[in-house]
Amino acid sequence: MTATASEATRHEYAARMNRVVDHIQSHLAEPLNLERLAAIACFSPFHFHRLFSAWMGETLQAHVQRLRLERAAKLLSFDRRKTITEVALDCGFSSSSAFARAFKQAYGLSGSEWRKRKICQTNRKSWEAEQEAILRSSAEPGPMARPSELPMARFPIHVQVRHLEPATLAYIRHIGSYKGNAALFRRLFDQLFAWAGPRGLMGPEARYLSLFQDNPNLTPAAKQRLEVALTVPPGTAPDGPIGIKPLEGGLYAIARVRVLPHEYADPWETLVGAWLPASGYQPDGRPALEIYLNNPDTDPEGRFELEICFPVRPL
């Protein structure tokens, strides 16, 4: 097989796997059987099962089960109105007993023990006392219960809660560790721009962003899903590793920040660890976003200006 033919084959496989991964992410509460997903990928079930394992680094069953459990862990921590059985069913488990066995095996705790500990909210233990004090001082929970400027955090931010409009995205997906890897982000965006530029898709109306599908406190670094993207007109066609998907839009907690590369995690930790617990909001199932507003190569200080966007809904 020639190099050109080999590249074309890999592009076709990437396009098919993008369709499957997007479908799984959007339909975790529904049955996700091998035959249905193989049909989405246009492979036979026998070949698809092997190809998925090789492409994703885990079997189809393990991938679906892991995403369902991670979603359940987040819901148990943040959505107190749902019973554990309701969480289990919302995440695609056939029964509460099946969920209980899988959750205990994965995390070593029952759902009720996990909910009491709120394990996935933040791994910054130094904030716990500050958060409790903030909650005690807020008689009325909600976005106006206290100023959204957070001087007690190591990276103060000003948070606004507002709606983002739906959009169509062209994206490249990366699965694996990405934290602190500026070279990876540059490489992915260069690849995306090399595709978008000749197609006239990088005009002044385009926005550039990253989508983070997983909670880094739950998902092993090797399995974390990152998508770098730009907004494109509806009807834009996918092309090999360049997938097309909708950005749902909706309500987000948003902070505009200017950071150096080594500071990227700090405003996120402030938003999720200090602002969220006293805000009157809780996370929902949409991915967190970063929307990039400048070119750091032309910034006098080499800083990235961006909006960090965390999906929320009222408690």
Task: Give this prediction's pTM.
Answer: 0.79
Q: Is the CATH number of domain 161-314 3.20.80.10? A: yes
Reported as a single tens digit per residue, the pLDDT across 195-231 is 999 999 999 999 999 999 988 888 889 999 999 999 9
Question: Over the range 123-162, which residues count as b (16 or more CB within 10 Å of their CB) and which as e?
Answer: ebeebeebbeebeeebeebebebbebebeebebebebebe
| Residue pLDDT, tens place only, 109-153 | 999 999 887 655 544 333 333 333 333 333 333 333 333 444 445
- According to the model, what pLDDT value does residue 18 have? 92
Q: Which residue has the tokens 């994703």?
A: 56
- CATH number assigned to the domain covering 3-117: 1.10.10.60
**Residue-wise pLDDT tens digits, 39-77:** 999 999 888 988 898 888 899 999 999 999 999 998 898
| Measured CA angle at 229 (ends 192, 122), to 5 deg | 130
Give, as one character, the DSSP assignment of residue 264.
T
Confidence of residue 237 (pLDDT cuts 50, 70, 90): very high
Residue ranges covered by each domain of the chain: 3-117, 161-314
User: 37 near 182, Cβ under 8 Å?
Assistant: no
pLDDT computed for residue 5 by the predictor: 60
User: 151: which 2 tokens?
Assistant: 């001087």
Distance CA 91, CA 85 (A): 10
pLDDT in the model for residue 2: 52
DSSP 5: H
> 23-27, 154-158, 176-180 — which is least confidently predicted?
154-158
- CA distances 18 to 29, 53, 72, 256, Å, are 19, 14, 23, 31
Three-state DSSP class for 18? helix
Q: Which of 186, 214, 200, 157 is nearest to 292 (CA)?
A: 186
